[in-house]
Amino acid sequence: MKIKSILFVVIAMGALTACSHAGGGMPNFGDDEYPVRTVSAQGAAMQTSYPATIKGIQDVEIHPKVSGFITKVCVKEGQTVAAGQLLFTIDAETYQAAVRQAQASVNTAKAQARTARLGYQNGQKLYKSNVIGQYELQSSQNTYVSAQAQVAQAQASLASAKEMLSYCFVKSPSAGVVGSLPFKVGALVSASSTLTTVSNISTMEVFFSMTEKDILDMTKTNGSASAALASIPGVKLQLADGTIYDHPGKVVKMSGVIDSSTGSVSMIAHFSNPERLLKSGGSGSIIVPHDNSNAIVIPQGCTLEVQNKIFVYILGDKNKVKYTEIQVDPQNDGKNYVVTGGLHVGDRYVTNGLAKLSNDMKIKPITPEQYEKKIAESEKLGSKQNSASGVIKTLSGK
């Protein structure tokens, strides 16, 4: 019985060897066979991202116009306020006294003006009766005019005092959301103190910068800076947590000056903010999409990266490969590169086995389909060999 088992194992091993020779073992790749693909143009949806800063469409710093102690804080941080709504009150006693004094001055000036008017009217009657001369009449008239001027001056002082008093009641100049409140009741503030910031966040302005080269390319393509601005499609906003903001934005402004220190141009995009998710002072990235109908796209697996440079093997004359550097768009999807230089439509490049190649090496090109077919045959044959090996181990008692 033992002898029969041994003979069966020998026969099985012979059969396995025969299958291996018949199928050629691993796929019948020659040492010089490599898959090669021809470069063609295709449409590519590309996008470029730029660091961005988020601000309300109107951020107003609130400063008091008068110095004094805060007597009341009428709002809370994050509260939505309307234009003209009271935010703070500042101790107004001194300014109220100034108003009362100015009002008294107005009353005195008016009384003096009434007296001067009576003197002038009486002078006119005396002049007609030839009791006084022209000099006396003119003097009474001048006194009356001067008294009227004193009234106007006193009224101006009263208006100024009332305005100073009104500054003790700090109101919001616009609708928006209240920012931080660094000063509490009892704090002494002056015109240099920033009481808070009121931000209109119904629409957000997102600031970012584009390179001078990008702006020049767009301007040349569209004919003018305004046309270039209008040609920019709707943009997206990537938030600080990596998610994309639900509402699209539109680039609405472009600076007319290039920043000499960075070589960039400041841009502003507007985003609606109905849910008030965006906050003034936040950060993110602006994503500008653009389509390229004649792009050269190659898989990243067909390239080699050496010292931050990208290389491919291009098939040249006499089937010799050339180790060639290519330029790619820095923005990619993690799987493919959009080639901007070094590779042209009609070129042929090696797609697999790059680690075994060297410059000027002669190869036998095959199509990617042939390559995939041989890979499939290899996997199928390997599966059969593994099955046969399992049978042999079982029969041999191992």
Run of H or E including 186: none
pLDDT at 283 > cutoff 80? yes
For 240-250, what is the mean pLDDT? 93
The rounded distance, in Å, linking the Cα atoms of 155 and 389 is: 112
Q: Is 296 helix (H, G, I), strand (E, B) or coil?
A: strand
pLDDT at 111 > cutoff 90? yes
Provide the pLDDT for residue 7. Answer: 33
The two structure tokens encoding residue 74? 């009428």
Among 110-124, 259-273, 354-368, 384-398, the minimum mean pLDDT is found in 384-398
Beta bridge partners of 298: 337
- The topology (CATH level 3) of 33-45+294-366 is 2.40.420
pLDDT at 365 > cutoff 80? yes
Residues 17-56: pLDDT tens digits? 333 333 333 344 556 889 999 998 887 667 788 999 999 8
Provide the pLDDT for residue 31. Answer: 65
Our measurement of the distance from residue 28's CA atom to the centroid of its chain's CA atoms, rounded to an integer in Å, reads 54
Provide the pLDDT for residue 384. Answer: 61
Domain 49-57+199-291, architecture per CATH: Beta Barrel (2.40)
pLDDT at 298 > cutoff 80? yes
Provide the pLDDT for residue 383. Answer: 65
Residue found by looking up tokens 């009481």 in the block: 195
* Count of residues in the chain: 398
Eight-state DSSP code of residue 334 = S
**Structural domain spans, the chain:** 33-45+294-366, 49-57+199-291, 66-189
Our measurement of the distance from residue 153's CA atom to the centroid of its chain's CA atoms, rounded to an integer in Å, reads 54
Give yes or no for a contact between 186 and 116, defined as CB atoms under 8 angstroms apart.
Answer: no
Alpha helices, DSSP H, located in 198-339: 212-222, 225-231
Backbone angles phi, psi at 302, to 5 degrees: -95, 10
396 confidence band (pLDDT: 50, 70, 90): low
Eight-state DSSP code of residue 245 = P
Provide the pLDDT for residue 388. Answer: 53
71 confidence band (pLDDT: 50, 70, 90): very high
The rounded distance, in Å, linking the Cα atoms of 224 and 63 is: 41
Beta bridge partners of 337: 298
Among 97-111, 226-240, 298-312, 365-379, the minimum mean pLDDT is found in 365-379
pTM beyond 0.85: the answer is no
